[in-house]
Structure 1
Amino acid sequence: MNRTSGADDAPAPTSPQQIRNVVLVGPPGSGKSTLFEHLVAARVEGRRPRGEDRSSSTGLVAASFASGEVVVNLVDTPGSPDFVGEVRAGLRAADAALFVVSGADGVDEATRMLWRECAAVGMPRAIVVTRLEQARADFDETVATCRRVFGDAQPLALPVQPDGPATTVTGLVDLLSSSPSASGVDAGVFAQRRGEVVEAIIEESEDDTLLERYLEGEEVDADVLREDLHAAVGTGRFFPVLPTHASSGIGLEEVLDLIERGLPSPVDVAMPRVFRSNGGEFGELACDPSGPLVAEVVRTTTDPFVGRQSLVRVFSGTLRPDDPVHVSGHLQQFAGEAIGGHRDHDSDLDRVGALAAPLGEDSRPKPHAVAGDLVLVARLAAAETTDTLSSPSRPALVEPWVLPEPLLPVAIHARSKGDEDKLATVLQSLVSEDVTMRLDLNPETHQVVIWAMGPAHVALLTSSLEERHHVAVEAEPLRTALRETFVQPCDAQGRQVKQSGGHGQYAVCSLRVEPLPRGSGIEFVDKVVGGAVPRQFIASVEKGARAQLDKGVLAGYPAVDVRVTLVDGKAHSVDSSDMAFQTAAGLALRQVANESTVAMLEPIDAVDIDVADASVGPVLADLRGRRGQVHGTEPSEHDGRTVIHAEVPALELSRYPIDLRSVSHGTGTFTRRFARYDYLPPQLVKDVVAGTR
Structure 2
Amino acid sequence: MVMNRSSGVGDAPAPTSPQQIRNVVLVGPPGAGKSTLFDHLVAARVEGRRPRDDDRASSTGLVAASFASGEVVVNLLDTPGNPDFVGEVRAGLRAADAALFVVSAADGVDESTRMLWRECDAAGMPRAVAVTRLEHARADFDDTVATLRRVFGDAQPLAQPVQPDGPGTAVTGLVDLLAERRGDVVEAIIEESEDDTLLERYLEGEEVDLETLREDLHAAVATGRFFPVLPTHATSGIGIEELLDLVELGLPSPADAGLPRVFRTNGGDFGPISCDPGGPLVAEVVRTTSDPFVGRQSLVRVFSGTLRPDDPVHVSGHLQQFAGDRLGGHLDHDADLDRVGALSAPLGEEARSKPQAIAGDLVLVARLAGAETTDTLSSTDRPALVEPWVLPEPLLPVAIRARSKGDEDKLATVLQTLVSEDVTMRLDLNPETHQVVLWTMGPAHVALLTQSLEERHHLPVEAEPLRTALRETFVLACDAHGRQVKQSGGHGQYAVCRLRVEPLPRGAGIEFVDKVVGGAVPRQYIASVEKGVRAQLDKGVLAGYPAVDVRVTLVDGKSHSVDSSDMAFQTAAGTALREAANESTVAMLEPIDAVDIDVADESVGSTLADLRGRRGQVHGTEPSAHEGRTVIHAEIPALELSRYPIDLRSVSHGTGTFTRRFARYDYLPPHLVKDVIST
TM-score over 0.5 for the pair: yes
Q: Tell me how many residue pairs correspond in the alignment.
A: 674
Give the aligned partner of residue 389 of structure 1.
377
Query: SS of the residue aligned with 1:464?
Result: helix
Which of 266, 271, 274 is the matching residue for 2:254?
266
Moved over 4 A (4+): none
Give the aligned partner of residue 364 of structure 2.
376
Which of 606, 609, 631 is the matching residue for 1:618?
606
CA distance in 2, matches of 1:320, 1:278: 26
Give the aligned partner of residue 144 of structure 1.
146
CA distance in 1, matches of 2:542, 2:193: 75
Letter in 1 for 2:34: K
Question: How far off is 1:217 after superposition?
Answer: 2.2
CA distance in 2, matches of 1:562, 1:196: 74
Task: Give structure 2 stretches of 5+ with no counterpart.
Answer: 1-6
CA distance in 1, matches of 2:279, 2:198: 38
Q: Does 1:599 align with 2:587?
A: yes
Query: SS of the residue aligned with 1:203?
Result: helix
Question: How far off is 1:208 after superposition?
Answer: 1.8
Question: How far off is 1:381 after superposition?
Answer: 1.3
Q: Does 1:642 align with 2:644?
A: no
CA distance in 2, matches of 1:283, 1:54: 43
CA distance in 1, matches of 2:397, 2:425: 10
Question: How far off is 1:210 after superposition?
Answer: 1.8
Query: Deviation per CA, 1:169-224, whole angstroms, max 9, x where unpaired?
Result: 00000011137xxxxxxxxxxxxxx2211111111335322222222222222211
CA distance in 1, matches of 2:10, 2:456: 31
CA distance in 2, matches of 1:379, 1:199: 51
Q: Does 1:678 align with 2:659?
A: no
Give the aligned partner of residue 71 of structure 1.
73
CA distance in 2, matches of 1:558, 1:675: 18
Greater displacement, 473-482 / 316-325? 316-325
Question: How far off is 1:332 after superposition?
Answer: 0.3
Query: Deviation per CA, 1:234-275, whole angstroms, max 9, x where unpaired?
Result: 000000000000101000111001100000000101110000
Q: Is the 8 A contact 2:320 2:328 kept in 1?
A: no
Question: How far off is 1:339 after superposition?
Answer: 3.2
Letter in 2 for 1:25: V
Query: SS of the residue aligned with 2:44?
Result: helix
Which of 15, 19, 22 is the matching residue for 1:20?
22
Q: Does 1:294 align with 2:305?
A: no
Which of 67, 89, 92 is the matching residue for 1:90?
92
Cα 1:51–1:133 shift into 2, 3 Å:
closer
Give the aligned partner of residue 47 of structure 1.
49
Which of 662, 667, 672 is the matching residue for 2:655?
667
Which of 110, 114, 117 is the matching residue for 1:115?
117
Counterparts in 2 of 1:325-474, with a 5 A limit?
A: 325-337=313-325, 339-349=327-337, 351-474=339-462
Give the aligned partner of residue 4 of structure 2.
none
Q: Is the 8 A contact 1:611 1:669 kept in 2?
A: yes
Query: Deviation per CA, 1:623-649, whole angstroms, max 9, x where unpaired?
Result: 000000000000101111000000000
CA distance in 2, matches of 1:569, 1:6: 89
Question: How far off is 1:349 after superposition?
Answer: 2.9
Give the aligned partner of residue 182 of structure 1.
none
Query: Deviation per CA, 1:295-328, whole angstroms, max 9, x where unpaired?
Result: 0000000011110000000001111111111000
Letter in 1 for 2:39: E
CA distance in 2, matches of 1:367, 1:497: 79
Query: SS of the residue aligned with 1:209?
Result: helix
Query: SS of the residue aligned with 2:192?
Result: coil
Q: Does 1:561 align with 2:549?
A: yes
Letter in 2 for 1:513: V
Q: Does 1:590 align with 2:578?
A: yes
Query: Deviation per CA, 1:579-616, whole angstroms, max 9, x where unpaired?
Result: 00000000000001000000000000000000001110
Q: Is the 8 A contact 2:29 2:112 kept in 1?
A: yes
User: Percent identity over the alignment?
Assistant: 87
Q: Is the 8 A contact 2:601 2:630 kept in 1?
A: yes
CA distance in 2, matches of 1:523, 1:603: 21
CA distance in 2, matches of 1:36, 1:468: 27
Q: Is the 8 A contact 1:327 1:350 kept in 2?
A: no
Q: Does 1:240 align with 2:231?
A: no
Q: Is the 8 A contact 2:125 2:224 kept in 1?
A: yes
Counterparts in 2 of 1:142-221, with a 5 A limit?
A: 142-178=144-180, 194-221=182-209
Query: Deviation per CA, 1:66-90, whole angstroms, max 9, x where unpaired?
Result: 0000000000000000000000000
Question: How far off is 1:417 after superposition?
Answer: 1.1
Using structure 1 for the length normalisation, give the TM-score.
Answer: 0.96
Q: Is the 8 A contact 2:37 2:234 kept in 1?
A: yes
Letter in 2 for 1:171: G
Greater displacement, 6-15 / 68-77? 6-15
Q: Is the 8 A contact 1:350 1:381 kept in 2?
A: no
CA distance in 2, matches of 1:336, 1:409: 18
Q: Is the 8 A contact 1:350 1:380 kept in 2?
A: no
Cα 1:404–1:478 shift into 2, 3 Å:
same
Q: Does 1:514 align with 2:516?
A: no
CA distance in 2, matches of 1:205, 1:640: 30
Q: Does 1:223 align with 2:211?
A: yes
Query: SS of the residue aligned with 1:671?
Result: strand
Question: How far off is 1:660 after superposition?
Answer: 0.3
Question: How far off is 1:427 after superposition?
Answer: 0.3
Letter in 2 for 1:386: T
Question: How far off is 1:666 after superposition?
Answer: 0.2
Q: Is the 8 A contact 2:53 2:235 kept in 1?
A: no
CA RMSD, 1 decimal:
1.1
Query: SS of the residue aligned with 1:509?
Result: strand
Q: Does 1:56 align with 2:58?
A: yes
Letter in 1 for 2:125: M
Q: Is the 8 A contact 2:327 2:393 kept in 1?
A: no
Letter in 2 for 1:686: K
Letter in 2 for 1:353: G
CA distance in 1, matches of 2:244, 2:513: 77
Query: Deviation per CA, 1:413-460, whole angstroms, max 9, x where unpaired?
Result: 000011111000000000000000000000000000000000000000
Question: How far off is 1:6 after superposition?
Answer: 7.0
Query: SS of the residue aligned with 2:91?
Result: helix
CA distance in 2, matches of 1:388, 1:350: 16
Which of 609, 615, 618 is the matching residue for 1:627?
615
Letter in 2 for 1:93: A
